[in-house]
Amino acid sequence: MTATDTAAPARTPALPIPPRPRQVAARAAATIVTIVVLVSFWGLDLEWSKIAQLPQDLVHYGRLMFSDPDWSMLPEAALQTWRSVSMAWIGAIAGVVLSTLLGIPAAHGVGPAWVRFPLRWSFAVIRAVPDVLIAIIILTVTGLTPFTGALALAIGGIGTHAKWTYETIEAVPPGTAEAVRASGGSLWEVVRWGLWPVAAPELMSLALYRFEINVRTSAILGLIGVGGIGAMLTQYTQHREWDVVGVLIIVVVVVTMLIDAVSGKVRRRIMEGATVRDVERKH
Amino acid sequence: MSEQSHAVGSEAEGATSASGSWPISLTDVTVRYPNGVVALKDVSLEIEPGQMVAVVGLSGSGKSTLIRTVNGLVQPTAGTVRVGEHEMTALRGKALRHARGDIGMIFQSFNLADRTSVFRNTMVGRFSHTSTWRTVLGISSHHDRDIVMRALDSVGMLEKVWERAGALSGGQKQRVAIARALSQEPSVMLADEPVASLDPPTAHAVMHDLERINHERGLTVMVNLHLMDLARQYTTRMIGLRAGEVVFDGPAASATDADFEEIYGRPVQPRDRLDVS
């Protein structure tokens, strides 16, 4: 394109412009993606007329829910939210502990290949199963209790958190571990004092993030009846008691945002490393 | 040269070291990495007990690999490495870890766990002498604690013992790393570019610490350097490496600029010296 510079005398040797690469693969991919998007619109049976009506409906239901919320239900809503958050918290702790135990041996340089690959494969399988499905499978054994929810969150959490764990361990700069090895440390000691102290802040931060995710998921798990705010929400929606639903939505949004804000602050503080403070003062 | 005077020192202070100081011997050592790079070619060396040796070369010359074959962090493709009573190239698993316990090592980037206390970091030096379950749970005996505190005191870092390693300056971190190595009660001390991340005054202080360890405890010290003035000033023998081969072996103090040009494979430049004079 730049070759036709009229100002340059004809004698100037032609610039050795490298040939522009032909991006066949990229173009083919773009075409395929376009086709997939178009076909999926087809399959959804979209009723465009209803979309036009949506803003109107939103205002209508919004008024039903929030013009005169039934605040007498607030204590019950708070109690159920507390159950959901507990479910999320227990699920996060159990999931993180299991993920740490299973994720560290799955890291390259820690476990041998015959340990690593089956573990990674199991995490991938768990990741492929939605938490709700895990809960439905578990509740055949443990019944419709918040415990089922916590257990489902714990197992579902392994899929992602164990993956984060081995990825974090693998990303640890090798220096500290090399120093432990150089002074005669065994694999256990290398993991405990060479890898863990370096990876721990990030793993703790990810654990809190897991909790934040669980708070959301626990509300969804309520829909299948394991209790908590989600169960209450389904119930009142089905009875079309919009003034109660309004209260529930307000409570869910406020609590979730609060937890996100606090947890986010704590995570930032963990990652930045506190200002100089004495650790292990007890010794 | 002055090795004889060190031998006297090792007798006087030898009690602090588990088994005195040891010789290091490499015979026809070749290291070829899986990617095909030959880092060391047929290197043979005899290092006397109590010697303070500088290994000098540019980055990529193989000096990091050389020092890592001594404690078995790198296993040679061919040849044997002996350190004192241990034939490092023949050892595996527990025996290798035990042998490493007798060899202290410090690094360019200190390699401390920054989020952990100086105490915990130094305690790593006791691992080869302590059962695994105790170290994993972080339980330390009075004996180990005593050794760690003495090691920290000997490098002037005792008052920082409960501070986080990450809160220390570079020079302080390297001192803690030296204390970690000393608490192994080693017979040999390895140092891989120990002052390359430090400013000149701190670099001299750390080199001085290493010199003192060599003099007072009589430890055999092998230190990788790329700066010529540090090698001349602090070590008695210098080994020059270029492209994985030994191109110089002789007294450090009398090594001429021409000798360094032979090692570097290029004229001497201002950046080859720490102190601009």
A278 contacts in B (CB within 8 Å)? Answer: 162-164
Mark yes or no for CB contact B127/A192 under 8 Å: no
Residue B143 domain boundaries: 115-168+175-185
Structural domain includes residue B4? no
Task: Please name the member of B97, B177, B180 whose beta carbon is closest to the beta carbon of A186.
Answer: B97
What's the gap in Å between the CA of A152 and the closest CA on chain B?
31
In a domain, B148, yes or no: yes
Which chain B residue is nearest to residue A198, measuring alpha carbons? Answer: B113
Average pLDDT over residues B138-145: 89
Residue from the list A180, A278, A279 with its beta carbon closest to the beta carbon of B124: A180
Residue B40 lies in a domain: no
Which tens digit of pLDDT belongs to each residue from A8-67? Answer: 556 778 888 888 888 889 999 999 999 999 888 887 777 777 888 888 889 998 888 888
C-alpha to C-alpha distances, A37 to A41, A43, A44, B173, nearest whole angstrom: 7, 10, 11, 57
Cβ separation B107–A175 shorter than 8 A = yes
Mutate to test the interface with B, among A187, A190, A275, A279 (most CBs of B within 10 A): A279
Contacts of B195 (CB under 8 A, 6+ apart): B174, B202, B203, B206, B207, B225, B230, B274
Predicted confidence (pLDDT) at residue B28 exceeds the cutoff of 70:
yes
A→B contacts (Cβ < 8 Å), by residue, are 175-176, 178-186, 188-189, 192-194, 197-198, 200-201, 273, 276-281, 283
Contact between chains at B73 and A278 (C-beta distance less than 8 A): no
Banded model confidence at residue B277, pLDDT cuts 50, 70, 90: low
What strand order describes the sheet that includes B220-225? Answer: B103-106, B188-192, B220-225, B52-56, B237-242, B245-251
CA distance to partner chain A, nearest, from residue B207 (Å): 19
Contact between residue A230 and residue A207 where contact means Cβ atoms under 8 Å apart: no
By C-alpha distance, the chain A residue nearest B103 is A183
B213-230 core/surface letters (b: 16 or more CB in 10 A; e: else): bbbbbbbbbbbbbbbbeb
Decide if B146 is inside a domain. Answer: yes
pLDDT of residue A279: 45
Report, in angstroms and rounded to the nearest whole number, the Rg of chain B calculated over CA atoms: 18
- Answer yes or no: is pLDDT of B169 > 80: yes
pLDDT digits over A205-223, tens only? 999 999 999 998 988 888 8
Residue written as token pair 């120093």 = A179
Which of the four pLDDT bands, split at 50, 70 and 90, describes residue B265? confident
- ipTM given for this complex: 0.86
Q: Do B162 and A181 count as a contact with CB atoms less than 8 A apart? A: no
Claim: this prediction has a pTM higher than 0.80 = no
Cβ of residue B236 closer than 8 Å to a chain A Cβ: no
Write down all domains in chain A, each with its CATH number in brackets.
73-272 (1.10.3720.10)
pLDDT at A280: 43
- Please provide the distance, in angstroms rounded to a whole number, between the alpha carbons at the two ends of chain A: 73
Query: How many structural domains comprise chain B?
Result: 1
Q: Residues of A with CB below 8 A from B119's CB?
A: 280, 283
Which of chain A's residues have a Cβ under 8 Å away from the Cβ of B125? 183
**Residue A203 to chain B, least CA–CA distance (Å):** 13
Task: In whole angstroms, give the CA distance from residue A141 to residue A223.
Answer: 18
CA A141 – CA A122 distance, rounded (Å): 21
Instruction: Specify if B153 maps to a domain.
Output: yes
Of the partner residues A188, A273, A280, the one whose CB lies closest to the CB of residue B166: A273
**Band (B19; pLDDT cuts 50, 70, 90):** low
Residues whose CB is less than 8 angstroms from the CB of residue A94 and which lie 6 or more positions away in sequence, other chains included: A150, A151, A154, A157
| Distance to chain A for B79, nearest Cα, Å | 21
User: In B155-199, where does DSSP find H-type helix?
Assistant: 170-182
Query: How far is B134 from chain A, CA to nearest CA, in Å?
Result: 10
In a domain? residue B162: yes
Low-confidence ranges of chain A (pLDDT < 50): 1-3, 275-283
**Residue B132 placed within a domain:** yes
Residue B120 inside a domain? The answer is yes
- pLDDT tens across B194-210, in order? 999 899 999 999 999 99
